[in-house]
Structure 1
Amino acid sequence: MHADQIAVTAATVRALVDEQFPQWRDLPVRPLDSQGTVNAIFRLGDSLTARFPLQPRAGARQWLEREAAAAAELLGRTRFATPEPVAIGEPGAGYPLPWSVQSWVPGAVAADEDLGDDFARDLAEFITGVRAIDTRGRTFAGENRGGVLKDHDAWMETCLERSEHLLDVPLLRRLWTGFRELPRGDSPDVMNHRDLIPGNVLVAGGRLTGVLDVGGLGPADPALDLVAAWHLLDRGPRRTLRECLRPDDLEWERGRAWAFEQAMGLVWYYDRTNPAMRRVGRRTLARIAAL
């Protein structure tokens, strides 16, 4: 998926686990087929997952430590399951980065599920629970989505240029021209999951059961987690989510804008490498454009 992607094999994982965590030597290692784009994920026995960053990153250990702290902060704050941080491993066996171990959260990702009103209410409950976490004076750190929409102009221009042969770029350019002008208003930052895409949402029987990739938990625009309205829901359930959360019109529209900003990078970047992510991008953009 990435030009600088690091190959991670089950044999490498086995060697790292055996050397660094001998208490888990008897646990089988199995690669997990996931939609993930950041980590290679392996099951470690029945109750653990080992996660290996796929790309080199400056300050990789500090990044994993921040992820673990965020996961610990969210753990138990809602009735929905989220991963518990367990350990951080060191480079070795030919793998050049630190890596992490989390608890396994069972469930099926919400990839192509037809999700209805009950799921929308569950999702609203999760978002409300996350927002209730105290920011402790923290504000948006200026990384990725969640600050000022105009700050993403350069990225949007890249996405629009790369999408010429894939999408209706004139329409999408007109949408971004409007989205980028949306004011933030005076709403303070609140805690957000910050990546509520289908691959991070677990379901069973049409209900929300758990949420993955919680390491991005942090303060941001209150509209940010509203991206889930377009990533996950069609018109009727989306209306139910809005009725439960009661955002004002501006906040709701900023949520649509953040979903647009995220979806625009999924189609061209993963066009030939990750069909599931490409489908998410196309579906989200279609929902946004249909309004």
Structure 2
Amino acid sequence: MTTPRMHADQLEIDAALVRRLLAAQFPQWAGLALRRVRSAGTVNAVYRLGDELSVRLPLVPEWAGDLESELEWLPRLADGGGLPLEIPEPVAAGEPGEGYPARWAVYRWLDGVTPEWRGLDDPRTAGRLAEFVRALRDLDPGGAPEGKGQRLLAADDDAVREAIASLAGTVDTAAATAVWTDALAAEVWDGERVWVHGDLLHLNLLTRGGELSAVLDFGSAGAGDGAYDLLPAWTLFTGAAREAFRAELAPDDAAWARGRGYALAKGLIALPYYRETNPVFAAFAREVIDASLA
């Protein structure tokens, strides 16, 4: 089965293509069992390869740059030490071939379960994830690629306001405009760059034995505004868990407002884009909007 099409320039990817790529470039793994990993993810097609490996292929050619960034920086982040959760481990980098025009990669398989939406909504898990965010920020950002938050909120003003207008009757446009305006008014980031994951959604986390165990998908990671990794306050947590996450990271009011603005923008832009092609992710985007406005 091919990957469901979400993007206009999405590549056709199926198990037969993955087997051809493996046979041509990594024949030592070509005979291993191969099965598609089903998810609501929007960037990569993922296949489990045997018991110990996985294969990731970007769905859109231009997104291969995210994968290449992972190939370069994940080993460095691991070597930096101190991260309290597991992160992906690249094993081999694949080249374009067999009709597939982008780079792809083989990773070590990480055991665990992708949590359900709000499945991590408790103060203990919030503290654990905040610990990871702090440890990531403590790593040296020297030479790191540009991460989320380097692009100021104001740069997305037109896109966000267009999305708000397009969702009239679906979301509270007055409330969305007010939250967005507050976020823009609070944009006083001092420019201090720290390591930012950039996509802390439940789809990019794993649990094992009911405990948070791993953070996935570092394609957006880089040096940027630390407020971007406040996203879990609206993408994962509510109530006491949200307060625990905030208390652990202790952002100032301006950073908190920017984080809320980042979350709102993410939901507003994703909802109309994925409403027809990925209803699971669109429903999640709607929840993020609602959380940002609550």
Q: TM-score, normalised by structure 1?
A: 0.91
Specify whether residues 98 and 114 from structure 1 end up closer, same or farther in structure 2 by C-alpha distance, changes over 3 A only.
closer
Distance in 2 (alpha carbons) for counterparts of 1:118 and 1:125: 11
Q: Confirm whether residue 121 of structure 1 aligns to residue 124 of structure 2.
A: no
**266-275 vs 189-198, which moves further:** 266-275
The aligned length equals: 286
Distance in 1 (alpha carbons) for counterparts of 2:82 and 2:107: 17
Q: Does the CA-based 8 Å contact 1:224-1:258 persist in structure 2?
A: yes
Q: Does the CA-based 8 Å contact 1:192-1:218 persist in structure 2?
A: yes
Of the three residues 107, 127, 138, the one matched with 1:132 is 138
Q: Does the CA-based 8 Å contact 1:266-1:278 persist in structure 2?
A: yes
Alignment-derived partner of residue 163 in structure 1 = 167
Alignment-derived partner of residue 200 in structure 1 = 204
**77-86 vs 220-229, which moves further:** 77-86
Q: Does the CA-based 8 Å contact 1:192-1:224 persist in structure 2?
A: yes
SS of residue matched to 1:109: coil
Distance in 1 (alpha carbons) for counterparts of 2:205 and 2:213: 8
**CA RMSD between the two structures:** 2.0
Alignment-derived partner of residue 104 in structure 1 = 109
How far is 1:244 from its partner? 1.2
Alignment-derived partner of residue 81 in structure 1 = 86
The one-letter code of the counterpart of 1:166 is T
Distance in 1 (alpha carbons) for counterparts of 2:200 and 2:128: 13
Structure 2 unaligned spans of 5+? 1-5
Q: Does the CA-based 8 Å contact 2:197-2:221 persist in structure 1?
A: yes
How far is 1:279 from its partner? 2.2
Q: Confirm whether residue 181 of structure 1 aligns to residue 192 of structure 2.
A: no
Alignment-derived partner of residue 75 in structure 2 = 72
Percent pairwise identity:
37
How far is 1:171 from its partner? 2.4
Q: Confirm whether residue 9 of structure 1 aligns to residue 11 of structure 2.
A: no
Distance in 1 (alpha carbons) for counterparts of 2:232 and 2:121: 12
SS of residue matched to 1:214: coil
SS of residue matched to 2:212: strand
Q: Confirm whether residue 51 of structure 1 aligns to residue 56 of structure 2.
A: yes
How far is 1:165 from its partner? 4.7
The one-letter code of the counterpart of 2:229 is D
How far is 1:115 from its partner? 1.9
Deviations 1:1-29 (A, max 9, x none): 11221110101101110111011122111
The one-letter code of the counterpart of 1:18 is A
Deviations 1:139-169 (A, max 9, x none): x73x654431101112213322332353222
Q: TM-score, normalised by structure 2?
A: 0.90
Q: Does the CA-based 8 Å contact 2:205-2:216 persist in structure 1?
A: yes
